[in-house]
Structures are given as C-alpha cells and as structure tokens.
Amino acid sequence: MKNKFKYLNNINFPSDLRKLKKSELKNLANELREEMISAVSETGGHLGAGLGVVELTVALHYVFDTPKDKLIWDVGHQAYPHKILTGRKDKIRTLRKGNGLSGFTKRSESEYDPFGAAHSSTSISSGLGIAIANKLSNKSNNVISVIGDGAISAGMAYEAMNNAGASKTKIIVILNDNDMSISKPVGAMRTYLAKILSGKIYFSFRETIKLIISAFSKRFSKKAGKAEDFLRSVVTGGTLFNSMGFYYVGPIDGHDLDALLPVLQNAKDVNYDGPIMIHVKTEKGKGYTFAEKSEDKYHGVSKFNVDTGKQEKSNSKIPSYTKVFANTLIQHAENDSKVVGITAAMPSGTGMDLFGQKFPNRMFDVGIAEQHAVTFAAGLATEGYKPYAAIYSTFLQRAYDQVVHDVAIQSLPVRFAIDRAGLVGADGPTHAGSFDITYLSTLPNFIVMGASDEAELVKMINTSIDINDKPCAFRYPRGNGFGVDLPKIDERLIIGKGKIVKEGKQVAILNFGARLNEALLARENLKKRGINLTIIDARFAKPLDEQLIWQIANDHELLVTIEEGSIGGFGSHVSQFLAEKNFLDSKVKFRSMIFPDKFIDHDKPEQMYKIAGLDSDSIVEKILNALNSKIIIKKTN
C-alpha cells in the first residue's frame, strides 16, 4: 500500500476505524477509494459497484460492531472496500488470483463475511435467517443486509421482504439504489425508485434529517410528526415498502457521511420489532472519472491504466463464443421474424446487446429474474415464436423448476443458449457451468448439445432454429474460439449424430463439448507410445448417438468419455446405455472423465482444468492406467 495514506495505513480492522473522529471519515473514504482503484487496476475484477459504496462501507463499519453485528453484502462484488477494511488489506492485490482473495464474499475467508454470495438477491433472505436465529438464541446482534446494484429487481428479494414484514423481527435492509446493475436496470422497480427521487426529498431530506430519524423511536414531537407526514405524502416512496411491513427511511445521499451516520446510528439503537428499510442513493463508479463516464460504469474490468482508464485487451482477432452466438442469431433473425432474444440482466455478457441493437423490439431484458425469463420464453413459444433464452449455465440453475415444469413437461420449443459452460477462471466456483449437462440431460423432451469449437456452435444454432416440437440447449465456454472458419447459417446437424474426428484402434475417446482439443493433444502424445486413438465429437448428450457408441464399443478395447460437467451427465448416460446392452467390462472397458466431486477455487482456467483432471496430460494418464500400462507419465507444470 502506498505510504501516503495517512488514515488507511492504520486501519487493519473495523475496530481501528472506530477510533477515528467522525470528521476524519471523509479522508479515510477518499483513501479507501484510491486504494481500491489502484488494486483493481492490477488484478481486474468488479470496480464500479465497489466505488459506489465506499462511504456506505465506512459508515456501516463505523456505526455497527462488526463482526458481532452481521453485515451481509448482496452479490459480493460490492464488497471490495469491505474486504480492505476487514483484515484483508494486505491481500487485496491477490484478488481473483489462484490462492488469493475471492471476488465475492466467502465465509471461509473471513469472520466478517457471515454469508457467502455471488448470485444476486440473497442478502435479505439470508439476513432474515440470521436475525431469526439471533432472536431464538436471545442474542441482540444487529443484522444488516445491503441489497443493490440491480438486485432488488429479482423475485427472491420480494419473497424475502414479504416474509420479513410479517416476522416481527428487526433486520436493517440497506437499499443501495445506484440505478445500475451490470447495465441499465429494467422493469417497474427502476421507474418506481426514480419516482421516489423525483420528489426532490433526496436533497431536502438532509435538512429535516434530525426530525425524521426520531420516528424510529415513535416519540414524535408535533413538528417531527408533520415532517414525517410531509415525507410520506409528497413522495410515495415508502408506500410499497411500508405495505410490506418495513419502516422506510429515505432516500439518503449515500456519499454524504453526515447524512448516513445519524440514520444508521438510530437504526442501530432503536428498539423496533420489525424490518427497517434505509433507501440510499449512490453513483456506481463514483470517484473515478472513467468509470463515471462509462456506460457500464466499469462494472467488470480487466487490468487497466489508472491514469488513462485504458483496459488491457486481448490482441486476438478470434471472436469470442458469445459474439459468434450473437452474430449467428442475428443472421437467423433477419430471415425469420419469429426469432426473439431473452436475457436476464446480462445483455452484454450474453451478446444480447448486439441482437438488441439490430432488433430492439425482439430482445427482452427481464432483469435479474431467471425464473421469469424461462417461463416468459415458454409463453412466447406457445404462440409460435422461437425464443432464445441466453443465460449463463450457473444462473440457469436458479430457474430449474421452470425449466422442468413450464418448458420440459409441456415440450415447448424454448432454445437455451448456455454461455459460460465449464470452468470460468477468476469468478470461481459460483460462476462455473458445472451442472447443466446433468440437470438438462435427465429431462424428457430435451435435446442437449455441446460445442467443441465455434464452428460447431454455429451449426448447433442453425439446427435449433428448426426444432419446433421440444426444448433444446446448446452450451459453449467463456472466451475466444480457435479461429476456425465459420459455416453458413444453412448448415445443420443431424439430431443425435456424432462425428468421427480421428480414426484409430484400441482406444476411443468420446468427447462432449470444449475438451476436444485437449483430447487431440492427448492422442498425439499417446501415438508416440504406440497407442492410436479414435477421437469422436459426440455433439449431443441427448439424444445419444447409440449406433456410433455401439460401433466403437465393438471395435475398441477401451472407451473414454470426456465432458466439462459433473457426474450424472453425458458419461453417465453412455454408461447406462452400455450397461443395458451388456457391454460394460465383458466387451469394453469404460472410463468417464468428469469434474471431481468438489468445488474448484478461482484460478487461471488452464490451472483449474489441471486440478479438475481434464487437461491433455490427465487424459493420457487416465488411458494408460486403464490399459494397465507400466509407462509412467509425468505431468507438466
């Protein structure tokens, strides 16, 4: 850390922070913001959200007795300033690196992280659980849940508020209203919050703050009571939250410590049996000019130059899988007016922003609401439209019930574009696409495809256009493709048919998804040892190419399946087929290479795949062991 930090250098834990005078907190906040910018410029990560809550973070740790009082950050990418103030200052430049700090809150990392988070809209639910546990245990700890950065748009937040309002349990909810998530938020809640601010109470509230905060204790003077009535009547802001059982205060300038501190202090001290909602208005990217001016407020950044704001970008001219998906879908939409795109608050991450630029009336961003996105797509499908729900694998998990009941059971032709399949690097296990092969392939009426390269992805999109009687999904990884030539949009696949890539004998690798290149590298290695492999791109996890599997099971001594997914997926279905045909052990040896039964911590993707045992060296070792070879292979570093 830079020595010029007069205050931050002496802050290792919130207990140090509480020794400062209130008049010194603004200087501390300025230093905290500068340190965060400096650190993220070296590591990359989520920048804008943290910059927006610097003053709020300082105020919360100054007023509340953390970690005894429980402070829960929704999503977790707002929590970088929190990490710096809670014993992790010297490690902040290890953020999102192997064996370094997580980019999200993590219980095993610090006692100041009472609940791990990386998916949106969980803070009120988890906070209420902790508050109820305290109540049952006769503890007096305060519980503070910070929700924001668009997370209030998700249904889970409303389910939690509904429950909290009826619980007669004190929990303090901070609504961090920055009018942003990853991109501009959508939906009625955004309009509602904007309406609150339009009454101009936002600024005049500071003038009446001492009157309004007395309402917590319900000991109003006549003047104070009138002031609260004025707040309620001129701005209908509290109406929704009040109707849900919350005591609503706000909106407050989240960058004004003079306004924040007394409100938080009163919320802490008041003996109130019920939830309190403090509406705080902040600016995402606050204090860093380049973030403030950026359309996405520098939500997620690579390493960057602090002075110029210029981010490090890959020099590769090979398009990402995401962009290949978007461009291909656009071509189909130009020819077919029934093609529509759906995303759940991830337009840029899924490529739906590009689709939306071309077809603004046919792209629907439903907000952080994956459950709604899936059933919304199902409704479109009933009317003959061709909905493409572009959702990260890990986020689609949140809508599994809707995938089953609203799509699969009705056999509706919703097309799922599953981005970020497999291990994703710095975002770690919470964002890894580890389970979709399993949770989709178990469902009747589903077609499940996995792209081995960007050309195969194009063919799968092309194929999905004509699937009008059942749901389908195609999965593809994060990052760039291999630079192969892309086929035209009229090139389809035969559903349920794989492709022989290389012919050999003795051993066959049946690959599903993006490990095909590693399988080819393993083949070259084993060829030097006198073992010639057949390599097959399965393309489909469901339906299986049973004829091809039957053929290679008859012609080879060993069959190995490879996939970027958990147990119960492609390999399990192949094993089941072979068992039913009495092939296992009696006619062919079978091995399945899948993700291990553990969550793999964030690291560089190639290192994560080594840990998972799905790199080329691991494939070679697996095959040699299965053949009972005495040749020992040494893994490369």
CA distance 245 to 267: 16
CA distances from 605 to 350, 419, 485, 529 (A): 19, 15, 25, 28
3-class SS letters over 69-116: CEEEECCCCCCHHHHHHCCCHHHHHHCCCCCCCCCCCCCCCCCCCCCC
Peptide bond into 81 cis (omega under 30): no
**What secondary structure does DSSP assign to 298-323, as a single string?**
TSEE-SB-TTT-PBP-----SPBHHH
Residue with tokens 């939830």: 275
Strand partners, 509: 535, 560
CA distance 259 to 223: 20
Q: Checking DSSP bridges between strand 363-365 and strand 386-392, what pairing results, if any?
A: unpaired
**Residue 460 backbone phi and psi in degrees, to 5:** -70, -40
Helix, strand, or coil here: 25? Answer: helix
Q: Is there a contact between 415 and 464 (Cβ–Cβ < 8 Å)?
A: yes
Q: Is there a contact between 563 and 571 (Cβ–Cβ < 8 Å)?
A: yes
Q: Is there a contact between 439 and 433 (Cβ–Cβ < 8 Å)?
A: no
**Residue 614 backbone phi and psi in degrees, to 5:** -125, 25
Check the CA dihedral 352-357-359-360 and report its sign: positive
CA distances from 416 to 7, 121, 147, 389 (A): 50, 23, 29, 5
From 284, 478, 515, 622, the catalytic residue: 284
From 88, 89, 398, 420, the catalytic residue: 398
CB atoms within 10 A of CB 579: 12
Q: Is there a contact between 529 and 503 (Cβ–Cβ < 8 Å)?
A: no
> Which residue intervals of 99-184 are DSSP H helices?
123-136, 155-167
CB atoms within 10 A of CB 480: 17
Q: Which two tokens stand for residue 558?
A: 């060993």
- Sequence length of the chain is 637
CA distance 252 to 202: 6
Q: Which amino acid is at 470?
A: K
Q: Is 370 a known active-site residue?
A: yes
Number of H helices, E strands in the chain: 27, 19
Q: Rounded to 5 degrees, what angle do the CA atoms 299, 301, 306 make? A: 110
CA distances from 86 to 113, 143, 241 (A): 9, 17, 31
Q: Is there a contact between 188 and 225 (Cβ–Cβ < 8 Å)?
A: no
From 31, 55, 370, 518, the catalytic residue: 370
Q: Which amino acid is at 440?
A: L
Q: Which two tokens stand for residue 490?
A: 């009229």
CA distance 447 to 415: 10
Q: Is 398 a known active-site residue?
A: yes
Q: Which two tokens stand for residue 167?
A: 């619980």
Residue positions annotated with a catalytic role = 284, 370, 398
